[in-house]
Structure 1
Amino acid sequence: MAYSTTTTAPLDDGTGLKRGISMITSPGCRAALLTALFLTQPLLSTCRIPDEDISTAAVPTTIQLRPNDIIKSTLPPYGSGGRGRTGSTSSTSFNELQLNLCNSGFAGCYAGGDSIPEGGELIYATGPNVVTVNEICSNDVAELQSYLSEAWPTDYTYSAFMPAIDKRTAAPYKCKDGFQYGSAVLGRVAASKWTTFDAYGGKFIAQDSSNEERIFVCAYARGDHFTCTTHLSSSSEPLALSQCKALMFDAVPYLKGVAGAAGKTVVGGDFNLEYDTSDAENVQKCVPPGWTRKGDGDVQHVIYTNDLVFSKSKAWGLSYTDHDGWEVRLTG
């Protein structure tokens, strides 16, 4: 598959100081670990901060967490059966690829599912460390993750999918094929650094009149990176900006605190907001201090903490969706 490059330079920018939040410790989690130690039995599940501990840490009022809706997957190293590694061998390279694949089956840009293998081939060709994906179905995630795993054959990959919420039922919104519709984050971690990953997801309290309630999903690859994606309201720019601020100023610092995550953080997505200093809904208004944003000249953006340094960006023309693939190459 050949891709056309439409830009090779950053189109916009923004910087400042990141807000933080202290890590939450869980007595219940410590107790479970001590019990397992004294009983000399394996701990059968990941020791995570239970929901009641999250609630006592004052979940921001702008979001509602929905941990039971998240679909997670981990793949071990792919092995030697693929086409070969495309991910960078540099220990400081950290690249993000943002995709909107328009695969719900309902939108006019839907192309019979062809956007999934096309997006997957771009994932393989670019070998990103993290991928943020919007407008896909839950059954698309495994296919996309397989391409990422093939790009990093000696490393672990993960995925976390969060469905949009159907306002009529309060249940996951569905694609035309009946699978859940939403967004996902995918990532790679070197086998030598891999332990596990945690996933977080929820919806924004502020919503438009659509039956599709907008959501966000985040993943913490422990000790390596934290990443999130979202697809914001398409009917109201003021609402999209409000949702963007809820994600960047509330959800991300809160969840990083819950996770105990420090270090490089990347948020990518279709924000339905543009960079325009003359516009009251300029996307730059939801970039916190200590972060930088690189946009595709339209509505897709990648926002990252300033411990990462910009290298270059590229918009890849795609045939089966109405959005370019937006690649931002970083070092850190």
Structure 2
Amino acid sequence: MNLCNSGRAACYTGRSVAEAAEAIGAEKPDLVTLNEICQDDVTTLERAFAQVHTDDRAVSAFKAAGDRPSGAATRCRNGQPYGIGLLTHLAAARTRHTVHSGIYPMQDVTDPEERAWLCVDVPGVLHACTTHLAATSVTVALAQCAHLVDSVAPMMRRNTGYAPTVLLGDLNLRRGGTPDVRSCVPSGYLRIDDGALQHVMATTDARICCGRSVGMHGATDHPGLLATLTIGGGAPP
């Protein structure tokens, strides 16, 4: 899970709903991205998120990964769609937002799970995206990352105008790896990671000052990543 607060921003990536809800309550993030999650669990975490942003309107979004053999969604063991999620909050009930999502055109055909991307666009305020890139091929993961930064992010700017952009998730690419995740970071973006596969990238008007791991008590295969950002002089998204 990736959590982000703006002004003091938090970003997490993990799988356990109970641990994620506890982390949300403790860290009070402004933006949360979720990988490897069932659809109904996003709704559960939205309730936990709303409890720490009682003056604002909580917003959640979910995108199921594709399942190549069936041509439908990948499913959790309980039958729910399985994929990625995003939580944020809007400062006023009248603030409009748009959810964008899709399946990457490039996939590892040996992997039955087709990887997806998901964005929430708050015009003039913030473009926030999450993804969980291919785990079976670093070449495909890099191509998917390039599609996110070179096609998806510009698409939102064309549709609703420029806003600070934050991209978070499990990229299955490493700093210093082959290929190096930094080859996917566009000019004009900042980036931090957890020392492994989780990354936060942001345009330079969303300044990243620091990041740390948040323990998930063995509930997932890696800890959460908490990043602190300042967006637009510290105003929350």
Structure 1-normalised TM-score?
0.65
Whether 2:29 is the aligned partner of 1:95: answer no
Whether 2:236 is the aligned partner of 1:328: answer no
Tell me which amino acid in the other structure corresponds to 1:95.
A
Instruction: Identify the residue that residue 269 of structure 1 maps to in structure 2.
Output: 169
Whether 2:103 is the aligned partner of 1:203: answer yes
What fraction of aligned residue pairs are identical, expressed as a percent? 34
Tell me which amino acid in the other structure corresponds to 2:185.
V
Structure 2, gaps ≥5 residues long = 232-237
Q: Deviations over 1:33-57 (max 9, x none)?
A: xxxxxxxxxxxxxxxxxxxxxxxxx
Provide the secondary structure at the position in 2 that maps to 1:98: coil
RMSD, matched Cα: 1.6
Provide the secondary structure at the position in 2 that maps to 1:266: strand
Q: Which among 74, 80, 84 is matched to residue 179 of structure 1? A: 80
Instruction: Identify the residue that residue 245 of structure 1 maps to in structure 2.
Output: 146
Structure 2: distance between partners of 1:213 and 1:157: 28
Tell me which amino acid in the other structure corresponds to 1:184.
G
Q: Deviations over 1:266-297 (max 9, x none)?
A: 11000011100xx4310011111111111000
Tell me which amino acid in the other structure corresponds to 2:196.
D
Q: Which among 196, 205, 220 is matched to residue 121 of structure 2? A: 220
Provide the secondary structure at the position in 2 that maps to 1:318: coil
Q: Which has the larger radius of gyration?
A: 1
Q: Deviations over 1:239-261 (max 9, x none)?
A: 11111111111111113322x14
Provide the secondary structure at the position in 2 that maps to 1:210: coil
Structure 1, gaps ≥5 residues long = 1-86, 102-114
Q: Which among 155, 158, 164 is matched to residue 254 of structure 1? A: 155
Q: Deviations over 1:86-105 (max 9, x none)?
A: x97xxx6151412121xxxx
Q: Deviations over 1:199-226 (max 9, x none)?
A: 0110111111111100000011233211
Instruction: Identify the residue that residue 44 of structure 2 maps to in structure 1.
Output: 143
User: Is the 2:121–2:156 Cα contact (8 Å) retained in structure 1?
Assistant: no
C-alpha deviation, 1:174, in angstroms: 0.7
Provide the secondary structure at the position in 2 that maps to 1:147: helix
Whether 2:34 is the aligned partner of 1:120: answer no
Structure 2-normalised TM-score?
0.90
Instruction: Identify the residue that residue 317 of structure 1 maps to in structure 2.
Output: 215
Whether 2:32 is the aligned partner of 1:131: answer yes
The number of residue pairs the alignment matches comes to 226
Instruction: Identify the residue that residue 234 of structure 2 maps to in structure 1.
Output: none
Indicate the structure with greater strand content. Answer: 2
Structure 1: distance between partners of 2:120 and 2:148: 14
